[in-house]
């Protein structure tokens, strides 16, 4: 995001909250093309977190409010201001964490989130939605090719066609419990642990869908998918109070393979959308191509295609 946009949104939000005269210092914590986060020091000695974002991350204030109302441990929303294709928020400052989140922390957070009441405004994602992802990815790839980009992606296209042919069958069971809140960026870096309390943040892409996508994302996507490790995590999830149906087969597959496979399809479709629409940085195409290629072939293998 551009500094001028960040300054404008910060100023407008503080003015809306009646806090313009209270700002002492703005310390950046995280920044990339689509969002920016700062810790704001105020004249009374307190601090708040300022976050601004552009599309498609402009509904996080609604997700935070709904999660808070449902009893999920999230930062308290102080003020928000949405204008056009941007969102600015002031949130409770949770302070520096005491430690990194563990698997046990992740399990307790997942159980809490997946059992929370789902607000009607969360975008729904069922078997039909899952099955549509390969076609959406192929369409984005075609648009990139039309711009003279991603010309070395024939193997990706062929793998996506194979996945698409089997998608309807493999997507069966998407609404099997746990079905509801999906954090969508669920990994240790999205949990804050302090004073014995675990809180979730980064709910910008939350939706209503298969909770197994969260559980499949916990160990990240950099390393080769490990179904045995994910199976153990699913079993621990059930032991921690999660739905026992997390261990049932779906789409003709073991739950760990189904979860990892569809999570990779969902991730690669998002990376393609970033490459074309949200970030659209031609210089980053080689890196994005490599990531999408890896996820596509991993997904085909995991979904037994």
How is residue 123 written in tokens? Answer: 């975008």
Q: Give the list of residues 6+ apart from residue 85 with CB closer than 8 angstroms, or none.
A: 54, 55, 58
Q: How many Cβ atoms from other residues are within 10 Å of residue 221's Cβ?
A: 19
Q: For residue 1, is pLDDT > 80?
A: no
Q: Which among 260, 166, 177 has a CA at the least distance from the CA of 213?
A: 260
**Mapping DSSP to helix (H, G, I), strand (E, B) and coil, where does residue 39 land?**
strand
Q: For residue 3, is pLDDT > 90?
A: no
The CA radius of gyration of the chain, in Å to the nearest whole number, is 20
Q: What is the 3-state secondary structure (H, E, C) of 173-209?
A: CCCCCCEEEECCCCCHHHEEEECCEEEECCCCCCEEE
Q: What is the pLDDT of residues 103-161, one digit of tens each?
A: 999 999 999 999 999 999 999 999 999 999 999 999 999 999 999 999 999 999 999 99
Q: How many Cβ atoms from other residues are within 10 Å of residue 123's Cβ?
A: 12
CA distance 123 to 258: 21
Q: What is the pLDDT of residues 47-88, one digit of tens each?
A: 999 999 999 999 999 999 999 999 999 999 999 999 889 999
Q: What is the pLDDT of residues 157-198, one digit of tens each?
A: 999 999 999 999 999 999 999 999 999 999 999 999 999 999
Q: What is the pLDDT of residues 244-260, one digit of tens each?
A: 999 999 999 999 999 99
Q: What is the pLDDT of residues 258-270, one digit of tens each?
A: 999 999 999 999 9
CATH numbers and ranges of domains, the chain: 3-92 (3.30.200.20), 103-302 (3.90.1200.10)
CA distance 91 to 111: 24
Phi/psi at 123 (nearest 5 deg)? -60, 130
């Amino acid at each position: 995001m551009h500094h001028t946009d960040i300054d404008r949104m910060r100023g407008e939000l503080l003015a809306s909250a009646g806090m313009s005269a209270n700002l002492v210092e703005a310390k950046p914590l995280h920044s990339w093309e689509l969002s920016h986060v700062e810790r704001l020091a105020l004249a009374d000695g307190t601090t708040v977190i300022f976050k601004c974002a552009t599309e498609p991350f402009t509904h996080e204030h609604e997700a935070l409010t709904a999660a808070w109302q449902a009893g999920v441990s999230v930062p308290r929303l102080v003020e928000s201001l949405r204008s056009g294709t941007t969102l600015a928020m002031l949130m409770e400052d949770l302070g520096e964490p005491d430690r990194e989140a563990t698997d046990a922390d992740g399990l307790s957070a997942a159980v809490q989130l997946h059992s929370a009441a789902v607000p009607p405004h969360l975008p729904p994602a069922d078997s039909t939605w899952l099955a549509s992802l390969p076609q959406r990815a192929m369409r984005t790839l075609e648009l990139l090719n039309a711009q003279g980009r991603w010309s070395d992606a024939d193997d990706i296209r062929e793998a996506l066609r194979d996945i698409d042919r089997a998608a309807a069958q493999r997507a069966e069971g998407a609404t099997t419990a746990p079905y509801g809140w999906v954090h969508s960026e669920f990994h240790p870096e999205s949990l804050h642990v302090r004073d014995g309390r675990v809180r979730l943040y980064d709910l910008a892409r939350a939706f209503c869908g298969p909770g197994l996508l969260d559980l499949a994302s916990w160990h990240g996507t950099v390393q080769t998918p490990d179904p045995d490790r994910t199976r153990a995590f699913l079993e621990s999830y059930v032991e921690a109070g999660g739905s026992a149906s997390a261990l049932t087969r779906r789409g003709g597959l073991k739950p760990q393979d189904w979860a990892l496979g569809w999570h990779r399809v969902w991730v690669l479709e998002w990376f393609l959308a970033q490459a074309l629409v949200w970030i659209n940085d031609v210089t980053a195409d080689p890196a994005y191509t490599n990531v999408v290629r890896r996820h596509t072939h991993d997904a085909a293998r995991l979904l037994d295609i």
